[in-house]
Chains A and B, each alone.
Chain A
Amino acid sequence: MSERIREKLAILADAAKYDVSCASSGSKRKNDNKGLGNTGNGICHTYTSDGRCVSLLKILLTNFCIYDCAYCVTRKSNDIQRTAFTVKEVVDLTISFYRRNYIEGLFLSSGIFKNADYTMERLVRVAKELRLEHKFNGYIHLKTIPGASDELMKEAGLYADRLSVNIEIPTESGLKLLAPDKDRKDMIQPMNFIKQEIIQNKNEIKLFKKAPLFVPAGQSSQMIIGATKETDQDIMYTANSLYKNFNLKRVYYSGYVPVSHDSRLPSFDSAVPMLRENRLYQADWLMRFYGFHVKELLNTETPHLDLDIDPKLSWALRNPNQFPIDINKADLQMILRIPGIGVQSAQKIVSARRFQRLNWENLKKLGVALNRAKYFITCNSTEFERRNLSSMQIKQYILASSSSKYLKSNVAQLQLF
């Protein structure tokens, strides 16, 4: 088997890597049938040389495709080697990798061969064989094929932990330009279907504990960033509406990696917009975990996120009237908004201050980045920033004190708050 499988794996892993989602969390499948595996918080088993988490075997079933989306390596008109796995090959690879503790499970996607249902049916078959024949309880993420029938979607949901429908391009006009065969409606409709089924399933589970699970880890989506001329506001408003309207668990932002000389796209030698991508993830986190409304971060006056500082600092500098905040009195919501304080330190502050009033030393020990936070807070100390600094000055001081962290263009970590 080896040589042929190796070649297929190389091609079909290569083609799948542009989908950046890697999460394997959010599902609590127990191993109570003495089978293989379980799911939980999700583990990154290793990291790629660009520092991304590897937690799933992420492959395409095939890279044959009848469509011609300009931003995609797999597009019909691209002159590349094409191949396809059999259902059995994917099942065997998944099980063998899982047993060796390489992975948390499978993320299976596919180019579209013949038609949507024909392709989707095979994806479903892989998941079904894993679950029923191999008692596999590890994580399964299936990417749904736009236009597949409701019956197949429903069956997919019974075996998968997560389903994703990629929105691909943040704006409808961008999608028309780059993927004329595709229709936004074919993406929205399945998202809505999955959402309804999930709600119904939750109700069923309330009534009968044993009701079968339906995509317990919910649905996610991905957008390609920088393939068209959209603003950050376009991107985050679309993301926000996906979270709000379809209860998405995650939206992924994938900086466009040049794969084509097409004149509709950024030139072949343009850099991947990694810093921008990073800022978008930060804005996404602020919306989901820090209680920010998308309009506070992006609006007609500020259609783009600052590239040189993170969006939370940027918000603080635009709203000097909200500061300084008294660390020993303010409620958690407000503490979360202070630059230099993350969710964990914020919670620690609220716990610790019940026992003593906190000073600078305490805050430092609790993990607060004082070089940023000090301009925005007061604490149990007579020392605090007394100069009446303008936002511009604060920004400059902060940039000067942490230049290496901010100005490098390859910042790819998220813990910058």
Chain B
Amino acid sequence: MISSPFDPMTILIYDGTWYGLLSCIFDVYEYKLKKISVTTKELFQPDAFSKTHEVFTSPANAERVLKGLSKKLSPTGMASIYSCHLSELPEMASVIIRYARLLFSSGISEKAYGNPDVLKIAQVAKKVGRERHRMKAFIRFRLTQDDIYYATIEPDFNVLPLIVSHFKNRYADQKWLIYDTKRSYGVYYDLHTTEEIQLDFAENPEKPTDTNIFAENEEQYQTLWKNYFKHVSIDSRKNTALHLRHVPKRYWKHLTEKQV
């Protein structure tokens, strides 16, 4: 699509969801839009000069776009765009739409890192991937009295959807709940399936952060782990800078071994 300076700019307004974003891409083609920018309903601020186009989130349209993309991209490439969406970085919606247009129109390769959008997708996907990996490592479960292993997280990016299958495979024989307190939703596994849930802390005075909900032995194991952690460090090799690079301070709040 070639745009001329006289084409009017269209602002796409969508609901911020993954399917919403894919529906944007669908509409770009459906309505032959040329110059566009994209924003969410939440962030949209009307101005007098631009045309707006409200995108209706359609699972069917979204799936068609996904199918189209999967013909242009490797499975890793597909996962990368989804990761970029989950990054929640404000500029990524436009980057993803531009990238999709590049893929569909010029058939650019996902490895043509000389192109700034291609490179950006790879870089952001890598950042999200790194945090996804960190969450697999840094989640700490505590056993509740109802026999549920419970963990809270506050990742920079919305990586919870990316780690569910890992935990489901690994902890197939225990009930668990991972809760993103920053985004106020969690995923619960009941020994069979996983589902997204929201906890209402306001109505439930027994917050899962209160110690009285945890199993009797729970604290002992935490103490043992903290002790273990203390004893495996070799003092004559201390290297705080390196330690901090691997375990950045913002993650400490949820790490058992970092609690006093």
Q: Which residues of A contact B (CB under 8 A)?
A: 1-2, 5-6, 9-10, 13-14, 17-18, 30-31, 34-38, 43-54, 57-58, 93, 96-97, 99-102, 135, 257-258, 271-272, 274, 348, 351-352, 354-356, 358, 362, 365-366, 410, 412-413
Q: Which residues of B contact A366 (CB under 8 A)?
A: 113
Q: List 15 A-B contacts (CB under 8 A).
A: A36-B174, A43-B133, A46-B247, A50-B237, A50-B239, A51-B246, A54-B232, A57-B228, A96-B224, A97-B225, A99-B174, A101-B140, A352-B114, A354-B111, A362-B113
Alpha-carbon gap, A413 to B224, bound state (A): 29
Alpha-carbon gap, A88 to B237, bound state (A): 33
**What's the minimum C-beta distance from A64 to chain B, rounded to whole angstroms?**
19
Q: Which residues of B contact A100 (CB under 8 A)?
A: 140-143, 149, 221, 225, 256
B234 touches A (CB below 8 Å)? yes
Alpha-carbon gap, A222 to B10, bound state (A): 64
**What's the minimum C-beta distance from A35 to chain B, rounded to whole angstroms?**
6
Q: Which residues of B contact A272 (CB under 8 A)?
A: 234, 236-237
A39 closest partner in B (C-beta)? B170
Alpha-carbon gap, A116 to B169, bound state (A): 37
Residue in B111, B143, B172, B239 whose CB lies within 8 Å of A410: B239
Q: Which residues of A contact B217 (CB under 8 A)?
A: 96
Chain B 11-27: CB-based contact to A (< 8 A → 1; otherwise 0): 00000000000000000
> Are A51 and B242 neighbours in the complex by a CB distance under 8 Å?
yes
Alpha-carbon gap, A182 to B227, bound state (A): 33
> Are A36 and B233 neighbours in the complex by a CB distance under 8 Å?
no
Interface centre among B172, B174, B255 (most CB of A within 10 A): B172
> Are A10 and B231 neighbours in the complex by a CB distance under 8 Å?
yes
Alpha-carbon gap, A355 to B113, bound state (A): 9
A350 closest partner in B (C-beta)? B111
**What's the minimum C-beta distance from A341 to chain B, rounded to whole angstroms?**
15
Alpha-carbon gap, A304 to B94, bound state (A): 54
B249 touches A (CB below 8 Å)? no
B154 touches A (CB below 8 Å)? no
Chain B 201-236: CB-based contact to A (< 8 A → 1; otherwise 0): 000000000000000010011011101110111111
A44 closest partner in B (C-beta)? B137
Q: Which residues of A contact B225 (CB under 8 A)?
A: 97, 100, 102
> Are A36 and B221 neighbours in the complex by a CB distance under 8 Å?
no
Alpha-carbon gap, A37 to B149, bound state (A): 14
> Are B114 and A48 neighbours in the complex by a CB distance under 8 Å?
no
Alpha-carbon gap, A14 to B111, bound state (A): 47
A10 closest partner in B (C-beta)? B231
> Are B119 and A365 neighbours in the complex by a CB distance under 8 Å?
yes
> Are A34 and B172 neighbours in the complex by a CB distance under 8 Å?
yes
Please give 8 more A-B residue pairs, beta carbons under 8 A apart, in addition to A30-B169, A352-B113.
Answer: A10-B227, A14-B231, A51-B241, A96-B217, A97-B228, A100-B149, A100-B256, A271-B236
> Are B172 and A31 neighbours in the complex by a CB distance under 8 Å?
yes
**What's the minimum C-beta distance from A332 to chain B, rounded to whole angstroms?**
15
Instruction: Given the known inter-chain contacts A31-B169, A101-B151, A355-B114, please indicate yes or no for A49 contacting B233, CB distance below 8 A.
Output: yes
> Are B236 and A49 neighbours in the complex by a CB distance under 8 Å?
no
> Are B234 and A99 neighbours in the complex by a CB distance under 8 Å?
no
> Are B109 and A355 neighbours in the complex by a CB distance under 8 Å?
yes
Alpha-carbon gap, A234 to B225, bound state (A): 39
B138 touches A (CB below 8 Å)? yes
Q: Which residues of B contact A410 (CB under 8 A)?
A: 239, 242
> Are A101 and B236 neighbours in the complex by a CB distance under 8 Å?
no
> Are A44 and B246 neighbours in the complex by a CB distance under 8 Å?
yes
Interface centre among B137, B223, B240 (most CB of A within 10 A): B137
B60 touches A (CB below 8 Å)? no
Alpha-carbon gap, A96 to B228, bound state (A): 13
B89 touches A (CB below 8 Å)? no
A270 closest partner in B (C-beta)? B236
B246 closest partner in A (C-beta)? A47
Q: Which residues of B contact A412 (CB under 8 A)?
A: 237, 239, 242
Instruction: Given the known inter-chain contacts A100-B221, A100-B225, please indicate yes or no for A36 contacting B140, CB distance below 8 A.
Output: no
Instruction: Given the known inter-chain contacts A2-B223, A355-B109, please indicate yes or no for A51 contacting B239, CB distance below 8 A.
Output: yes
B218 closest partner in A (C-beta)? A100
Q: Which residues of A contact B257 (CB under 8 A)?
A: 46, 102
Q: Which residues of B contact A102 (CB under 8 A)?
A: 140, 225, 256-257
**What's the minimum C-beta distance from B164 to chain A, rounded to whole angstroms?**
14
Q: Which residues of B contact A43 (CB under 8 A)?
A: 133, 136-137
> Are A46 and B113 neighbours in the complex by a CB distance under 8 Å?
no
Residue in A2, A38, A51, A52 whose CB lies within 8 Å of B170: A38
A362 closest partner in B (C-beta)? B114
B243 touches A (CB below 8 Å)? yes
B173 touches A (CB below 8 Å)? yes
Alpha-carbon gap, A258 to B239, bound state (A): 18
A255 closest partner in B (C-beta)? B237
Instruction: Given the known inter-chain contacts A99-B141, A362-B114, please indicate yes or no for A51 contacting B243, CB distance below 8 A.
Output: yes
B9 touches A (CB below 8 Å)? no
B111 closest partner in A (C-beta)? A351
B250 touches A (CB below 8 Å)? no
Instruction: Given the known inter-chain contacts A99-B141, A356-B112, please indicate yes or no for A257 contacting B236, CB distance below 8 A.
Output: yes
Alpha-carbon gap, A413 to B257, bound state (A): 23
Instruction: Given the known inter-chain contacts A6-B227, A93-B224, A351-B111, please indicate yes or no for A135 contacting B169, CB distance below 8 A.
Output: no
Chain B 101-138: CB-based contact to A (< 8 A → 1; otherwise 0): 00000000101111000010000000000000100111
